Amino acid sequence: MAIIFAVIGVRAAKVRSDRLAFWNSAKNWPSVSGKLLEVGIDVITKRRNVEDRLLSDTYYRPRIAYSYSVGGRAHKGARFDCSESLGDTQIRTRARISKYSPGDSADIAYDPDDPDNSVLARGNKPEAGEGLLSIYLGFSSAIFLVAMGVRILT
């Protein structure tokens, strides 16, 4: 079990690290004025079976679409921020998109090496600590299980 926690923790830390690296890159990208085409909320429901009971969790994520032009070439994007997380509560998600409306102008940050790669709200730094907590809990569990195993054998 401890190994599973450790593997999940390492994987989560890698995802968080990748998001943080993307944010560090995007915060230095140039920006251009673009037009918001769509602003809304995606509802994501995850279902799982727990002891023969079907449980579901509902998450909310900003749905955004925008167009912009770089060097005379038109581009479209749909990335809201650098986190690309599963989602949040409905209230927090509504607050995140509240200042945006379809038809509005907005600053779109784009990768100068690949202008198709863009983001609307690059200032939202992704949280990076959750993966480290999973690693800590996994290794703590492993140490506990090893200690208990040694105690049982003696």
- Considering only CA atoms, which of 20, 18, 1 is closest in space to residue 127? 20
pLDDT band at 51 (very low <50, low <70, confident <90, very high): confident
Q: Cα separation of 70 and 114, whole Å?
A: 10
Selection from 2-16, 29-43, 84-98, 128-142 with the highest mean pLDDT = 29-43
Average pLDDT, the chain: 80
Selection from 50-64, 68-82, 137-151 with the highest mean pLDDT = 68-82
Task: Kindly provide the residue ranges of all beta strands, DSSP E only, lying in 7-138, ordered along the sequence.
Answer: 31-50, 53-70, 73-77, 105-111, 114-119
- Looking at the DSSP assignment, which residues form a beta bridge with residue 32? 108
Helix (H) or strand (E) run with residue 92 in it: helix 90-97
Higher pLDDT, 152 or 105: 105
**What is the pLDDT, as a whole number, of residue 150?**
56
Q: Cα separation of 66 and 80, whole Å?
A: 10
Q: Cα separation of 127 and 41, whole Å?
A: 21
Contact criterion met (CB below 8 Å) for 122 and 109: yes
Q: Cα separation of 59 and 57, whole Å?
A: 7
pLDDT band at 106 (very low <50, low <70, confident <90, very high): very high
51-to-5, 47, 55 alpha-carbon distances in Å: 20, 13, 10
pTM equals 0.69
Provide mean pLDDT across the span 141-150. Answer: 63
pLDDT band at 70 (very low <50, low <70, confident <90, very high): very high
**What is the pLDDT, as a whole number, of residue 65?**
97
Q: Is the pLDDT of residue 43 over 80?
A: yes
Higher pLDDT, 126 or 37: 37
**What is the pLDDT, as a whole number, of residue 119?**
92
